[in-house]
Structure formats: structure tokens, C-alpha cells
Amino acid sequence: MIAFRHPAFGLLIKQVDQFDSSGRMLTVRGTSPESVDSREFGPIPVQRMIGKVIWHVRSPQ
């Protein structure tokens, strides 16, 4: 999982799907079929990555 900024959607956290052969672009995917991800907005430049998500905390329900 990575965090990155998208010009239209703002801060997003998604799973890395794959890198292109140059290693400069990557595709991401969401955790559900309804997620907004590279299927909708295409590959993203690696430079947009903010960091790797290492911990996920959920609110009590």
C-alpha cells in the first residue's frame, strides 16, 4: 500500500498493482471493485508517491 497525491482526487491510499518497464510509472488498485484506481485514471508517476503505508488504524465501530 502506498500514499500518493492525485490532481483530481487528492490524497489516496492504494495497493501497488505493477510498475512499468522503466520503473517511472505505476498502476494502483483499490481493495473493492468500486474503488477509484488506475482502471479509471491510468498509471501514476512514481514521483507522486508520498510513502509506503505500514500501519492501518480503523475507528471503533
Strands of the sheet containing 2-6, edge to edge, are 44-45, 25-29, 10-19, 2-6, 49-52
Expressed as residue numbers, the domain containing 17 is 2-52
Tens-digit pLDDT profile for residues 2-52: 999 999 999 999 999 999 999 999 999 998 889 999 999 999 999 999 999
- Asked if the model's pLDDT at residue 58 lies above 90, the reply is no
Q: Answer whether residue 59 is part of any domain.
A: no
At residue 59, the pLDDT reads: 84
At residue 31, the pLDDT reads: 87
Q: Answer whether residue 60 is part of any domain.
A: no
The domain total for the chain is 1
At residue 40, the pLDDT reads: 94
At residue 3, the pLDDT reads: 96
Q: Answer whether residue 6 is part of any domain.
A: yes
